[in-house]
Amino acid sequence: MPELPEVETTRRGIAPHLKAQQIDALTLRRPDLRWPIPKALATAVRGQQILGVRRRAKYLLIDTEPGAMLIHLGMSGSLRVLPHGQTAGKHDHYDLELSNHTLLRFNDPRRFGCLLWQAAGTTHELLAHLGPEPLEGDFDGDYLFAMSRGRSAPIKAFLMDQAVVVGVGNIYVAEALFAAGIRPMRAAGKVSRASYQAIAVAIRRILAYAIERGGTTLRDFLKPDGEPGYFEQELFVYGRAGEPCKVCGGIIKGLVQSNRASSYCPRCQK
């Protein structure tokens, strides 16, 4: 599933092509994706100028005066900027046709993405209870330490809770915990303030670097220009169970947490 760096990479890729363009039409090829697409959406955006493209957690928001189109890539979704008239494929579910003779096309083989609407001056229910952005100023070790008190859940599950901090998915939590030297199964409430400071620093550094390098290429994700990301080659623990640790040479161990694969180094992480 595309995580925060992949979504931010997508935002940066499409934003220059969309900003200040007028929306000529929204062409829908199916009535739903993960959820029903609002029936009035095509009418609401037609003729509107795009004011900007934002990201909140793993959601993209295309802003217009009456509101914002709310987009999630799901597990396999991608957005492409293409010329008008480009033939649509089987999994091309909608096109946003623009006044500069291009279109923004959403492709999603698994259909777990979404296209919803957030009226101006409101906050969509999917965004209403999210935690802070990990790359913004209100996210730090003191915040994580305070939020973790009394929590018995494993620290990896705690950090992946979107009400605690947004967009830090499986890959980047695993890498940040390795960088901070913390095992993913430790109880969140038992981790020290100093360790949370190290975790927060690691999360910010790893996410920022992954964004700079174009995100982590997963099985179904490519950058908007069609080039794969490159951060994947530099992972220390994620997806490396049974392989030697790049730091100490010990064997990376794998486990399952909350029905998701996890991995860590028994020597480097305590």
Query: Which residues carry a binding-site annotation?
Result: 91, 110, 151
Question: Is residue 36 annotated as part of the catalytic site, yes or no?
Answer: no
Q: Which of 2, 5, 154, 184 is catalytic?
A: 2
Question: Is residue 65 annotated as part of the catalytic site, yes or no?
Answer: no
d(CA 267, CA 97): 54
Catalytic residue among 46, 54, 205, 260: 260
Give the separation between CA 87 and CA 216, rounded to whole angstroms: 29
Provide the Cα torsion 249, 255, 260, 265; round to 10°.
-20
Residue 94: enclosing H or E segment and its boundaries?
strand 92-98
11 catalytic residue (yes or no): no
Residues 2, 221: contact at Cβ < 8 Å? yes
Q: Please report which residue ranges of the chain form alpha helices under DSSP H.
A: 4-18, 41-45, 141-148, 155-159, 170-180, 193-212
Choose, from 3, 6, 8, 97, the residue flagged as catalytic.
3
Q: Is 2 a catalytic residue?
A: yes
- Residues contributing to the annotated binding site for DNA: 91, 110, 151
Cα separation, 144 vs 159, in Å, equals 9
> Of 55, 58, 156, 240, which is the active-site residue?
58
Residues labelled catalytic: 2-3, 58, 260
